[in-house]
Amino acid sequence: STLGMTPNLLNHHCVVRSHCEANRQNKAEEYLAKIEEEGVTIPVDLYDRVMRSYGSVGHLDKCLRIYEKMKAKGASPDQNSMLILVTAFCKFGKMNEAIQIFEKMKQDGLVPSVKVCNVLLSHLSSQDRIQQMEFLFSTMVEKNVKRNLETYTILIDKYTAQGETDKIELLKEHMKGDDLLPDVSEYGKKIEVLGQIGEISKAELKMKLMKNLGLKPDVFAYNGIIHGSKWKNDGISEGERLLVEMEENGISPNGDTCLSFIELYGSSQKWDQVRRIYDYMKAQQIDISLPIYGRLMELLMQSSDTADLEVAATILSAVENQGSQIDANIYNKLASSFALQGDSDRPLVMINHMADKGVTIHQNTFVQLVDNLVNAGHPAKALHVLKNLSDTRSYKVKLDSQMFVSLVRYYSGADQPQETDSIIHLMQSENVKPTSFIISSLVFSFLRANMAAQAQRIAIWGKS
């Protein structure tokens, strides 16, 4: 303004929003009055923002003041204005006033939205005001306010609690007319999709509606809710409760049900439970697809328990016996996971098996194998692995400098010249080009051991 530039509506929105977010509602209202005096025509959504902010902190009289000011200034309140006012009064327990406002706004020519009606229905239900709920529903029908699933769920929940089965049947006819009466298979698949994308509240709403209508949810519906349970704090207990409910209703879990539990337990690192699901699937003769096998192996390989890794290896064999193609990454990761436990024999068995199957053995698998063995306190085993690699050409993997870094770091720090000599001999016999880190580590190791001649020999090797 000082620069002679005229602020636009976006600028005004920013100012009002910043005041409202900082709970300075009075300042926001003062700003509206100021720009009104400057001749700015204030749109409805700016008034709505201030009204919503007052409502959020319970200043209901000021909400009404803004509403009246909107009308006086010629800014026609809309359905969103009605929603803001009604929600604020309901939130702070002023139900009678909320209904009065609702009726007054209707008299002002506003047609209520389904959102406003659902807010009122929900709060009327919480106070057991059934007659008013029914009157509001009839108003929605009369005013042609489009009903949605939430509308019917609120009413059916209340009628179910009251045992009013005849009224539920009447609502079913309305739902049929609104094309909202659930089809079990169609709804089951919708619930499954909602659970998979994390829309768990919507999935649960649909499930609840099905049950209240006397419809039996299918395995797809249960799978959706179980899968969505991972987004809840009590996800595991909720999932287990649903599994019991499924079995009580005679619904057999399928592979996707088990995959949901695998994800649930895996996300909480409950590896024993992941193994239990695998055993359950075998006992129940549930078809285990390749993606399920893959996910089982992927999760079990994160475990620090050798028993879990053995199960992963058993699964790998089962998939091989099916004749299925297995990603080389699975083999390589399993070998590395065994190495992380300080086991040199099992990874080498895996690597030999990979060589026999013609599976590509990654150079990095040997790097990880050596690193893991050294970190687990087994440097001698790590050196043995590299010597074995040197002697066994069927692996089709060449020794490289990265495979020696952990060993050099360990032995040069431990000042063990004899083992250091073994590393140097192996690298030179295999024409492995040393890195500057390896050369400097070896030189300083020999110097600390007062072996200057050997240090000089290493320096010359590095220079060459």
pLDDT above 70 for 18: yes
What is the residue type of 84? I
- Highest averaged pLDDT of the listed ranges 55-69, 157-171, 318-332: 55-69
Q: Which residues lie closer than 8 Å to 277 by C-beta, 6 or more apart?
A: 258, 261, 262, 265
pLDDT above 60 for 42: yes
pLDDT digits (tens, 9 = 90+) for 359-378: 888 888 888 888 888 888 88
Mean pLDDT value across residues 299-303: 87
What's the pLDDT score for residue 34?
92
What's the pLDDT score for residue 393?
57
Tokens representing 227? 């899968």
pLDDT above 70 for 23: yes
pLDDT above 70 for 80: yes
Q: What is the percent of the chain with per-residue pLDDT over 70, rounded to a whole number?
A: 98
pLDDT above 80 for 160: yes
What's the pLDDT score for residue 362?
84
Q: 3-state SS string over the chain?
A: CCCCCCCCHHHHHHHHHHHHHCCCHHHHHHHHHHHHHCCCCCCHHHHHHHHHHHHHCCCHHHHHHHHHHHHHCCCCCCHHHHHHHHHHHHHCCCHHHHHHHHHHHHHCCCCCCHHHHHHHHHHHHHCCCHHHHHHHHHHHHHCCCCCCHHHHHHHHHHHHHHCCHHHHHHHHHHHHHCCCCCCHHHHHHHHHHHHHCCCHHHHHHHHHHHHHCCCCCCHHHHHHHHHHHHHCCCHHHHHHHHHHHHHHCCCCCCHHHHHHHHHHHHHCCCHHHHHHHHHHHHHCCCCCCHHHHHHHHHHHCCCCCHHHHHHHHHHHHHHHHCCCCCCHHHHHHHHHHHHHCCCCHHHHHHHHHHHHHCCCCCHHHHHHHHHHHHHCCCHHHHHHHHHHHHHCHHHCCCCCHHHHHHHHHHHHHHCCHHHHHHHHHHHHHCCCCCCHHHHHHHHHHHHHCCCHHHHHHHHHHHHC
Tokens representing 65? 């003041």
- Highest averaged pLDDT of the listed ranges 81-85, 384-388, 444-448: 81-85
Q: Which of 100-109, 168-177, 293-302, 336-345 has the lowest mean pLDDT?
A: 336-345
Residue corresponding to tokens 């007659």: 131
Tokens representing 239? 């999932």
CA angle 119, 121, 124 (to 5 degrees): 110
pLDDT digits (tens, 9 = 90+) for 211-261: 888 888 999 999 999 998 887 877 889 899 999 999 898 999 999 999 999
Which of these, 129, 127, 83, lies nearest to 105 by C-alpha position?
Answer: 83
